[in-house]
Structure 1
Amino acid sequence: MKKISTLKLSLIGLGIALNVVGTFTAFSLKLPILLDSIGTVMASFLLGPYYGVITGLCSGIVSGITFDIYSLYFAPVQIFVGFFSALMYNKGFMRGKKKILGVLVVSIFSSFVGAVIAAFVFGGITSSSSSYIVAVLSNMGVNKVLSVFIVQFLMDYFDRFLAVSLVLLVISNIPEKIKYKLVSN
C-alpha cells in the first residue's frame, strides 16, 4: 500500500478545515450560500478526485458531528463535488471562460444529489437559509423535488463558482516547487 505524503495529508487537513470553517460561517450568519466546498475543490485541483472526495466526506462528518447534523446527510454531495471538480479541472474546464461550463457541470450533479436528499429525507427543509425559498415555491404549487433542485442549483452554482475562483487564485500563487512535490508524491 502506498503511503500518503505528509504534504498531501496536510493539504487534506487544510481542506477539511476550510470546509468546516466555511460551513460554520454560512450556518451562523444564515448566508444564502454554503461555503462548504472550498477545501474539497482545492484538494481536487491539487491532488485529484480521490483526495477531493476524502476531503469532502471528512469535512461533512466533522461538521455534522460538531454543529450541523444536516451536514452528515449531505456528505455524499461532496463525492460529486470532489470527483467532478477534479475531472473538469484536469480537462481544462475550470480556467478562463470555460470555468462557467465547468462549474455548471459540477453544480448540476451535486445539486441533483443534494436536492434528492433534501426533498426525500427532509421534505425540502434543512438548516440552510434557502429553505425559505423552497417553502415559498412549494406553496406556489411547484413540485417539491423540482423546487428544491431549482433553489439548490442556484445556490450551489454561485457557491461552487466562488470556491473555484478562490482556489484558482490561491493555486496561481503556490510556488511551482510545491506543486511539483504534490504531483510527484
Structure 2
Amino acid sequence: MKTTAPRLTMIALAVTLNIVLGNLALFLRLPIYLDTVGTIFAATVLGPVAGIITGLCSALFTGVTTDLFSLYFAPVQLCVGFMSGVLLHNKKASWSLPLKALLITLPGTLVASLITVLLFGGITSSGSSLLVQVIHGLGVNQTLSVFLVQIGTDYLDKLLAVSLVISAVKALPRYRQIGS
C-alpha cells in the first residue's frame, strides 16, 4: 500500500468514524456495535491493508480512551478489515450484499465469541450481553449462548455497516483516485 496524504487522510477519517459510531452504540447500549463502519469503508476504498490498519488504530485508541474492552477485541477488527478488503475492494456487485456481509461477519464472530467466553465469561460492555444472559438463563451453556447472540448481532451490525459503506462509496464519484 502506497502511503500518500489522501490515503492517510481517508484512514484517519475511517478511524474517527469507528470511534464516534462505536462510542455512540456503547453509550446507547445498542445490541449492535457500529465500530467497524470505518474499517469496512477503508478496506472497500483502499484495500485490506488499509482496513487492517484502520481497525487496529481504532481498537487501540478506543481501548485507551473510552472502552478498555476494545483492546481485547482488536483481532476482530483485523478480521473485518481483511475480509472486507478481500470481498469489497475493487469488486463489482457480483454477490449479494447479505452473503458478503455474512462472509465478513463469520471470522470475526468466531474470534469475538472465543474472546468473550475465555476472557470475560460472556459479559462485555455492549448491550448484547443482556441477550447472552437471557439465553444462558434459559439453560443454554455459556459458550453457545455467546455464539448465538454474537452471530446474530454481528451479522446485523455488518449488514448495516456494509450497506452504509456501499451506499457511501457509490455516492463518491472520485474515490478511485484515492484508492489507486
Does residue 1:34 correspond to 2:12, yes or no?
no
Aligned partner of 2:159 in structure 1 is: 161
Aligned partner of 1:126 in structure 2 is: 124
Residues 92, 98 of structure 1: 8 Å contact kept: no
Aligned partner of 1:114 in structure 2 is: 112
SS across alignment from 1:170: helix
**Separation in 2 of the partners of 1:48 and 1:138?**
39
Does residue 1:44 correspond to 2:43, yes or no?
yes
Deviation for aligned residue 1:92: 4.4
Matches within 5 A, 1:60-99: 60-90=59-89, 92=91, 95=93, 98-99=96-97
Deviation for aligned residue 1:53: 0.6
Deviation for aligned residue 1:106: 1.1
**Separation in 2 of the partners of 1:32 and 1:84?**
22
Provide the TM-score with structure 1 as the length reference: 0.92
Matches within 5 A, 1:138-149: 138-149=136-147
Instruction: Give % identity.
Output: 42
**Separation in 2 of the partners of 1:91 and 1:111?**
25
Residues 49, 87 of structure 1: 8 Å contact kept: yes
Q: Which runs of 5+ in 2 are unaligned?
A: none
Listed one character per residue, the Cα deviations across residues 14-59 of structure 1 (whole Å, up to 9, x for unaligned) are 0100000011100111111100000000010011111101100110
Q: Which runs of 5+ in 1 are unaligned?
A: none
**Separation in 2 of the partners of 1:79 and 1:145?**
22
SS across alignment from 2:35: coil
Residues 51, 85 of structure 2: 8 Å contact kept: yes
Listed one character per residue, the Cα deviations across residues 120-164 of structure 1 (whole Å, up to 9, x for unaligned) are 000000001111111122222212121111101111111111111
* Partner amino acid, structure 2, of 1:162: L
Residues 77, 110 of structure 1: 8 Å contact kept: yes
* Partner amino acid, structure 1, of 2:36: S
* Partner amino acid, structure 2, of 1:107: T
Structure 1 segments (4+ residues) deviating >3 Å: 90-93
131-140 or 59-68, larger mean C-alpha shift: 131-140
